[in-house]
A and B are shown apart, each in its own frame.
Chain A
Amino acid sequence: MVHALNEIHRVLVNRGSLIDLRPVLDRWPIEVTSNSGNHEVGRVTDLPEPVVDDGAADQAMAEAEQHGWFVRERQDVFPFFYYWDTPKEMREYIDKSWDDVIRIEDELWSHLGTSWATANADARVRIRLKMMITGLRKQNPS
C-alpha cells in the first residue's frame, strides 16, 4: 500500500487532498431495528487476516507521513449501516460477500432469529460498521 500512496502523491497536485475512507474491524454490532427502537443482539467475530490488513493499512499511512508525502489534517469515525429485511437475507449476503472478513457464530444466528421474529412486524436487521475517514494534504518532502 505504500507504493500506492507514493503513486497517489505523484498524481496529486501540490497541496492536493487525499481522503482515506474505510471500514475498520471492531466486532461490529448486530441489531434488530424497528419503529419502536434498536436492540443489539450481539457482535460479529472478526477474522484474523482482515485485522492484519487493517494494521497494514494504518502502517502504510504512517510511513507515507514519515516520508513527508502527506500531512494528516483530520480524522473521524462514524457508523455505516447495512440493512436486511430478514436474518436469512443477511446470512446469505454475509456468506456470499463477507465470508473472508467476519464470522457470526451459530448461537448468535439463533438469537438474532428469535429476536427478529418476536419484534415488531416492521423489524429489520442491521450491522453497524465502524467507518474511519482521514483527510491528508499532499506536501513535497523537504
Chain B
Amino acid sequence: MTVQTDPERTESKYIKRYADFTGKRVLEIGCGDGRLTWQYAKSAGWVTGIDLHRDDLRVATIDRPADLEHKVVFTRADSIHLPFAKESFDIAILAWSF
C-alpha cells in the first residue's frame, strides 16, 4: 500500500510564505512522523517536534537527516501541558491537528 502526499509541494510553499524560519526556534505541535518538519528545518535555528504517538515519533527520529541531528529533536508531549519555559520559541506550528 503506497501513498504519495503533496508531490506538488504546495504545503511547503505556503508554510514558507507564512514565516521566515531562518535561525528561528520552532515548536511543531502534532509533528507526527516529521513529514512537515523536513520542509522548513534546514533553515531554522532549532526545532522541537511534539506528538502523542510514540510510533510516529520513532519514525521521525529514524528518518531525521544526519545534518539535522544537532538541531531537531522530537519528544512525546501534550499540547495542553507544554514542558517548556515561557517565551522559548519564536514560531509555533499547529500541524494537522484535526
Note whether A and B form a binding pair: yes
CB distance from A19 to the nearest CB of B (A): 5
How many of A's residues come within 8 Å of B, CB to CB?
Answer: 40
**Does A121 sit within 8 A of B, measured CB to CB?**
no
Could you say which of A7, A12, A22, A82 contacts B3, with CB atoms under 8 Å apart? A82
The interface residues of chain A lying within 8 Å CB-to-CB of B2 are 84-85, 89
- Chain B residue with the shortest CB-CB distance to A79: B10
Q: Is the CB of B87 within 8 A of A19?
A: no
Q: Which of A23, A53, A81, A92 contacts B1, CB < 8 Å?
A: A92
Contact with B along A77-102 (1 / 0, CB 8 A): 01111111100010011001000010
Task: Determine if A135 and B88 form an interchain contact, defined as CB atoms under 8 angstroms apart.
Answer: no
Determine whether B8 belongs to the interface, using a CB cutoff of 8 Å to chain A. yes
Contact with B along A1-28 (1 / 0, CB 8 A): 1011001101111101111111100000
Which applies to chain B's interface (DSSP): helix, strand, loop or mixed?
loop
Q: Restricting to B38-68, which residues have a CB under 8 Å from any CB of A?
A: none
Contact B1 A4 (CB under 8 A): no
Known A-B contacts A21-B96, A84-B3; A16 and B90 likewise in contact (beta carbons under 8 Å): yes
- Chain B's closest residue to A14 (CB) is B87
Q: A18: which B residues are within 8 A, CB to CB?
A: 91-94
- Minimal beta-carbon separation of B69 from chain A (angstroms): 23
Residue B29 at the chain A interface, CB threshold 8 Å: yes
B96 touches A22 (CB 8 A): yes
Residues of chain A touching chain B, judged by Cβ–Cβ distance below 8 Å, are 1, 3-4, 7-8, 10-14, 16-23, 50, 53-54, 57, 74, 76, 78-85, 89, 92-93, 96, 101, 131, 133, 135
**Contact sample, A vs B, 25 pairs, CB 8 Å cutoff:** A4-B79, A7-B81, A8-B27, A8-B92, A8-B94, A10-B82, A10-B86, A11-B89, A17-B18, A17-B19, A17-B90, A19-B18, A20-B94, A21-B14, A57-B97, A76-B14, A79-B10, A80-B5, A81-B6, A81-B8, A82-B4, A83-B3, A83-B5, A84-B4, A89-B1
Top 5 closest pairs, chain A to chain B, by CB: A4-B79, A83-B4, A3-B80, A7-B82, A135-B18
15 additional contacts (CB under 8 A) given A12-B89, A18-B92: A4-B80, A7-B82, A11-B84, A12-B90, A13-B89, A16-B87, A21-B95, A23-B96, A54-B98, A74-B18, A80-B6, A83-B5, A89-B3, A93-B1, A135-B19
